[in-house]
Amino acid sequence: MDIAKVAERIGARLWTPGPGSSIVVDRVYAGDRMSDLLNAVTDTTLLVTNLSNSTLVRFIELMDAPAVCLLHGVEPEEAIVSAAHAHGAVLMVSPVDMFETCGRLYEVLRGGAASTP
């Protein structure tokens, strides 16, 4: 499914569009420990995390993660937005917590329609 469509259906705001519909996401990984994120990333993984600082900038620069979803409606630092844009990664922000975001993603990626507030 087009990552922009996924973002729309879970109620997330897109900060960087990445290459748009050419991104295929077939896996979601949610976590906050950098070591876990580094082990989980593939070129088809959407990463969901509470991290929204310089650590995430380094992660985006090092890995080829196609998409990152931040949580709680946080406004990402400019460095994160710039890194995502420079590396062609989609950066989105969900308005809700990790549990709710993952539930919405599960529903959408399994062919359902996520409920948004």
pLDDT tens-digit map of 16-63: 987 765 777 788 999 988 888 888 888 888 999 998 888 888 888 888
Q: Is 62 inside any structural domain?
A: yes
How many structural domains is the chain composed of? Answer: 1
What percentage of the chain carries pLDDT values higher than 90? 45
Q: Is 115 inside any structural domain?
A: no
Q: Is 116 inside any structural domain?
A: no
Residue 36's domain comprises 3-109
Residue 58: C-alpha distances to residues 20, 30, 62, 82 (Å): 22, 18, 6, 12
pLDDT at 7 over 70: yes
Tell me which range, 29-43, 59-73, 76-90, 95-109, is most confidently predicted by mean pLDDT. 95-109
Distance CA 67, CA 90 (A): 4
pLDDT at position 25 is 79
Which CATH number do you get for residue 7? Answer: 3.40.1390.20
Mean pLDDT over 5-26 rounds to 83
**Average pLDDT score over the chain:** 87
